[in-house]
């Protein structure tokens, strides 16, 4: 058990934006929401998963929709209380704690804001260890948990509770409502007890995000290493490419940011080209026609000077970035995990091959 204050939020936002693999929303927007809540209502208590009783009701809080829309539409302020009331009324039981459903600049921040405003603790766990675009894409689905009852509300006060036959159906129906509500909404889904959370959750994700963010903030203080060497060491990342963005093909379709970013090589990669495909999150990195990484491993773009993450909604012509790969949570490498979030699910015509095998020959 420990407290999350403003400096912790700053670092968590940066680290979670890296683990968001391009998705999860703008860390600046999410950070402002969380910092505002903590300034008004006080610091948030972060619980280790093992500190949570097995029978406690644990509820993830998140936004659903295109991050570019959220950045413009923002949060109305009453959504957390509305979701809390809907869930507690449904179960006839008080919520013990909130948790993030994924790592990302916004979806790691909203649960902190909700916890601060409602005086509840936050659990150091999520359902991905990264970010994915569709709501059924969590480790809890692998564990057989249901996404519903799922509560959804928009900033205008419209709300609905879903009860569906599969988690994929939850995604389909909630996505339609999200589009009708303007492209982004606040949701609470995968309500679970403490035992289920401990069994299937990705533990320590908030702490990992904070440590990564702190390391990025102090990356130029490294001794006997270049900042880039230090960055790759503490992230355990594989350098895939360095280049200048020469084109960005991006559209908002079906509540997703979908597209491709094209890179012209710089430095050691001069004369080479690469591209990264994305659906909110980066899905595949291809260098000179060769696939070097695919989902469910993490593909992250960072600024070549500051090593701050560059999300898919912040891609701009001329920006210089390094593309790195990070290993995913081990549950994603099981047959069930690959079926749920592997490259073929997203229409990429290749089998999943672990990042470290594709990148044999050096980090």
CA–CA distance, 295 with 298 (Å, rounded to integer): 6
Is 218 inside any structural domain? no
195 plus 236 within the same structural domain? no
Strand arrangement of the beta sheet that strand 281-287 belongs to: 290-294, 281-287, 273-279, 256-265, 238-253, 320-326, 298-303
For residues 273-279, give the mean pLDDT. Answer: 95
250 falls in which pLDDT band (50, 70, 90)? confident
Long-range pairs for 158-162: beta carbons < 8 A, 24 or more residues apart: 159/82, 159/86, 161/86, 161/90
pLDDT digits 0-9 by tens, 11-34: 999 999 999 999 877 788 889 989
Which pTM was predicted? Answer: 0.91
Q: Cis bond leading into 222, ω under 30°?
A: no
Residue 123: how many CB atoms within 10 A of its CB? 31
What is the domain-level CATH number for residue 307? 2.40.390.10
198 plus 270 within the same structural domain? no
Checking if the pLDDT of 189 tops 90, the result is yes
- Look at residue 29 in the predicted model and tell me its pLDDT: 84
Q: Which of 148, 172, 206 is the last residue of a domain?
A: 206
- Look at residue 362 in the predicted model and tell me its pLDDT: 42
What is the domain-level CATH number for residue 86? 3.40.1610.10
Q: Which domain holds residue 339?
A: 228-358
Q: What is the number of domains present in the chain?
A: 2
179 plus 271 within the same structural domain? no
pLDDT digits 0-9 by tens, 154-187: 988 999 999 999 999 999 999 999 989 888 899 9
What's phi and psi for 105, nearest 5 deg? -60, -35
pLDDT averaged over every residue in the chain:
92
192 plus 238 within the same structural domain? no
CA–CA distance, 188 with 206 (Å, rounded to integer): 18
- Look at residue 363 in the predicted model and tell me its pLDDT: 38
Is 19 inside any structural domain? yes
174 plus 238 within the same structural domain? no
- Look at residue 70 in the predicted model and tell me its pLDDT: 65
78 plus 178 within the same structural domain? yes
Q: Measuring CA to CA, how many Å separate 72 from each of 88, 191, 352? A: 30, 29, 36
CA–CA distance, 60 with 53 (Å, rounded to integer): 16
173 plus 238 within the same structural domain? no
Q: Which of 206, 239, 261 is the last residue of a domain?
A: 206
Is 213 inside any structural domain? no
- Tokens representing 34 are 């969380």
Phi-psi region at 130: left, alpha or beta (left = phi > 0; alpha = psi -120 to 50): beta
Counts of helices then strands in the chain (DSSP H, E): 12, 18
């Amino acid at each position: 058990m420990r407290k999350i204050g403003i400096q912790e939020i700053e670092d968590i936002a940066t680290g979670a934006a890296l683990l968001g693999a391009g998705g999860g929303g703008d860390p600046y927007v999410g950070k402002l929401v969380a910092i505002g809540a903590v300034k008004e209502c006080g610091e948030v208590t972060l619980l280790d998963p093992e500190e949570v009783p097995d029978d406690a009701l644990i509820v993830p809080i998140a936004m659903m929709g295109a991050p570019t829309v959220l950045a413009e539409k923002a949060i109305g302020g009453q959504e957390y209380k509305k979701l809390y009331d809907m869930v507690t009324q449904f179960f006839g039981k008080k919520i013990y704690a909130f948790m993030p459903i994924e790592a990302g600049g916004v979806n790691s921040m909203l649960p902190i804001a909700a916890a601060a405003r409602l005086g509840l603790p936050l659990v150091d766990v999520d359902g991905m260890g990264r970010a994915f675009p569709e709501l059924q894409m969590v480790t809890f689905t692998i564990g057989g948990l249901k996404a519903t009852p799922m509560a959804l509300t928009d900033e205008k006060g419209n709300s609905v509770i879903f009860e569906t036959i599969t988690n994929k159906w939850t995604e389909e129906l909630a996505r339609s409502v999200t589009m009708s509500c303007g492209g982004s909404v606040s949701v609470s889904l995968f309500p679970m007890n403490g035992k289920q959370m401990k069994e299937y959750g990705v533990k320590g994700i908030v702490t990992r995000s904070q440590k990564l963010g702190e390391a990025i903030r102090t990356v130029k203080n490294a001794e006997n290493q270049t900042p880039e060497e230090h960055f790759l060491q503490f992230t355990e990342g594989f350098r895939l490419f360095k280049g200048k963005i020469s084109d960005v093909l991006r559209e908002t379709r079906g509540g997703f940011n979908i597209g491709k970013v094209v890179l012209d090589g710089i430095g050691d990669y001069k004369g080479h080209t690469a591209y990264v495909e994305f659906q909110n999150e980066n899905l595949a990195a291809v260098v000179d026609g060769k696939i070097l990484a695919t989902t469910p491993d993490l593909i992250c773009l960072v600024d070549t000077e500051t090593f701050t993450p560059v999300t898919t909604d912040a891609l701009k012509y001329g920006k210089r970035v390094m593309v790195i790969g990070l290993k995913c949570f081990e549950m994603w490498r099981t047959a069930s995990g690959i079926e749920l979030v592997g490259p073929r699910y997203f229409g990429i015509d290749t089998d999943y091959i672990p990042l470290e095998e594709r990148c044999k020959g050096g980090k």
